[in-house]
Amino acid sequence: MSSPVSDPSPKRAGIVGVSGYSGMELARILASHPHFSLELVTSDKWAGKRLGDRLAVAVPAADLTCFTHEQGQAHLGEVDVVFLCTPAEVSVDLAPRVLAAGARVVDLSGGFRLAADQYPQWYGFTHPAPALLAEAVYSMPEATGNADKLRTARLVSNPGCYPTASVLAVLPLLRAGFMEADSVIIDAKSGTTGAGRKASEEMSFSEVADDIRPYRVLRHQHQPEIDRALGMSGAPHVRVTFVPHLLPVRRGILATAYGRLRHGTGGSDPVGGVRKALADFAEERPFVHVVAAEEVRLQAAVGTNRVVLGASADAKLGSVVTFAAIDNLVKGAAGQAVQNANLMFGFSETAGLLRLAGAMP
């Protein structure tokens, strides 16, 4: 956890795409942040509307008028940091313009998460700014540990929701040597907000309610990001099979990861061993909470910037299972983006995030 800066000066923030789910969550967090002042919001959908008429946010952010995306570009130089809550193909076009205007960027899309040669396969376009892509700092604070790079970064790539839950589920056990790296299976389930706010038949209530289904099997764009993030976090050469599922809930991700218990680890108490590995990982990581495996649940994470971890193991079976629960819109998007922005500007990593509260039951 980083130390807070004494008497930090407020930084002006802007959100491009405030009417999307991640943008809305980001506006709520920034509106009451002690060190950021929300000064610019754009949305073609909400253009000309007062932000407070669309979202329950605190004044003075509530009094902001939403610009169109085009109008907002004339004001990019008036803020210190811009959060891009836009599709990947939009972010890769906008990021250079924001930087040219003198602001720093936190991109919540997949526009700067992979190597350039991976974009045609996983995102369906050739990356138009490979030099800027190479400069971007990908940061999952609990895993990549690159806070020093963030202090000077112009462009930070915020991780995806599934990679955040998946990487944090398995990384502690891979680092501690409990889980074999050659065959890790991640079964992850997400609420419907993970698909964004676009209207579609498959995401309508009648199609989603009372059902659960896998989607984009073995072709989801977060597969290579999981691989890359693990490599950047000290767990290279891990073979991961990742399958996402859609839950009939609004928000939250539960990632269940299965692996082989490394031979000779755990001794007579493998369950205690894996729990200790998680507890050791949680030290100095204020948003990581460790519970018993069967206590990991969405309600323990939704509405917060927490990642809730649990694990178990069986020496006779040679198996280890680990779990992570997060809010896909907070820890999986807006909350982690603010966490990264805090580190960029030298604020406490937890600023503006500790008071976020969920509701149980």
d(CA 55, CA 32): 13
**Is 161 marked active-site?**
yes
User: Is the Cβ–Cβ distance between 331 and 303 less than 8 Å?
Assistant: no
**What residues are paired with 65 via a beta bridge?**
50
d(CA 230, CA 159): 12
What DSSP line would sit under 36-68, residue for residue? Answer: EEEEEEE-TTTTTSBHHHHS---TTGGGPBPBP
User: Is the Cβ–Cβ distance between 103 and 79 less than 8 Å?
Assistant: yes
Give, in degrees to the nearest 5, the angle at Cα 143 between 121 and 319.
Answer: 85
Tokens read off for 53: 């008429």
**What residues are paired with 137 via a beta bridge?**
156
> Within 13 Å of residue 354, how many CA atoms lie on the same side as its CB?
9
DSSP 102: T
Amino acid present at 328: N
Tokens read off for 221: 């764009």
**Catalytic-labelled residue, pool 82, 132, 161, 173:** 161
| Number of helical (H) and strand (E) elements in the chain, helices listed first | 13, 13
Q: Active-site positions? A: 161
